[in-house]
Amino acid sequence: MAEEQLLPLFEDQCLPFQIEGQDIKGRVVRLGRSVNEILSKHNYPEDVSKLMGETLAFTALIGTLMKYNGILTTQMKGDGPFRVLVSDFHKAEDSAIGNIRGYAAFEDGIDANDPMEELFGQSGYLAITIDQGKFMERYQGIVKLEGDSINDAAEEYFRSSEQLPTKVMLACEKDTQGNWHAAAIMIQHYARPARDEFERNDMETKDHWNTASILLGSLKPSELLDKNLSLQDLLIRLYHESGVRIFPPTEVAAGCRCSEEKIRAALASLDLQELKDVADDGTITVTCDFCTKDHKFELSKLMH
């Protein structure tokens, strides 16, 4: 457990917040060890890792919004040279920690800094799927991938799916020691319930939103990623004038759900010749796209 105590204090957690006295809520997430574990294993080119780190931070940010335990998946896909970028957030019923994982498939030589339409093509889309098991119906929202970055797609997703004005900021960076860090912050303007006794005039509400948006826009990626600055202090620094209410955090860690049992069942559905074709020296190796783990099966034990 000694290693646990060396963990940076201000990473791998998501913090919900609300600006005092205003119709604005938000959340902020910062990933350290979790995102570094995922990106180091995949070892993609740096620009792809950066895009993936930002996506993982976004997935953790909205994954922790789920009311019940479940799985939230973000998938970016299309007909461009960037084939697919998938990440998911999973919180099990018996766990206080949310697990993230992800993978990407792309053509050699792409520049992941290119605009979204160039990377994912004209048919590029961002799909967000929320599966909360028996508690709620499966939900999927889809937006076209446009604009310069996933920030734009993320904001468009909230505008179209929830009709809520939303500001999102994502960041990912490799530090001088070669470790990856990623972070995300969002604010949303939500309608005050009609039963509320305080009727606010429109101008004031608009003012609040504009001010909160401008303050968020003033945040530098380096501040958002600064692991020596607690998320609480970051929020206070941003919204000290109006005050900010901070709610309990959710911890985030890297974790995969691949299982030998599931892969064995999938292999059992193939016919013998197919199994023989992929076997090497009597062994079939299935590599998990997400965590890169090799699952090995003896052909003789699969055939019965």
Stretch that binds Zn ion, among 70-78, 92-100, 177-185, 283-291 (CB under 5 A): 283-291
Stretch that binds Zn ion, among 57-65, 133-141, 155-163, 253-261 (CB under 5 A): 253-261
Residue 288 lies near Zn ion (rule: CB under 5 A)? yes
d(CA 12, CA 280): 40
Minimum distance from residue 57 beta carbon to Zn ion (Å): 20
Q: How many of the chain's residues bind Zn ion (CB under 5 A)?
A: 5
Q: How far, CA to CA in Å, does 135 sit from each of 67, 70, 138?
A: 9, 9, 9
Q: How far, CA to CA in Å, does 242 sit from each of 29, 211, 252, 285?
A: 21, 10, 29, 57
Residue 256 lies near Zn ion (rule: CB under 5 A)? yes
Minimum distance from residue 8 beta carbon to Zn ion (Å): 25
37 neighbors 254 (Cβ within 8 angstroms) = yes
Residue 286 lies near Zn ion (rule: CB under 5 A)? no
> Residue 291's CB: how many other CB atoms inside 10 A?
18
113 neighbors 85 (Cβ within 8 angstroms) = no
> Which of 258, 263, 270, 279 is close enough to bind Zn ion by CB under 5 A?
258
73 neighbors 129 (Cβ within 8 angstroms) = yes
Name residues whose C-beta falls within 8 Å of residue 188's C-beta, 6 or more positions apart in sequence.
24, 25, 26, 158, 162, 164, 165, 166
Residue 212 lies near Zn ion (rule: CB under 5 A)? no
Q: Which is nearer to Zn ion, 100 or 291 (CB)?
A: 291
List the end-to-end C-alpha distance of the chain, in Å, as a whole number. 44
Minimum distance from residue 165 beta carbon to Zn ion (Å): 37
Stretch that binds Zn ion, among 16-24, 146-154, 190-198, 280-288 (CB under 5 A): 280-288
Residue 84 lies near Zn ion (rule: CB under 5 A)? no
Minimum distance from residue 288 beta carbon to Zn ion (Å): 3
Minimum distance from residue 289 beta carbon to Zn ion (Å): 8
Q: Which residues bind Zn ion (CB under 5 A)?
A: 256, 258, 288, 290-291
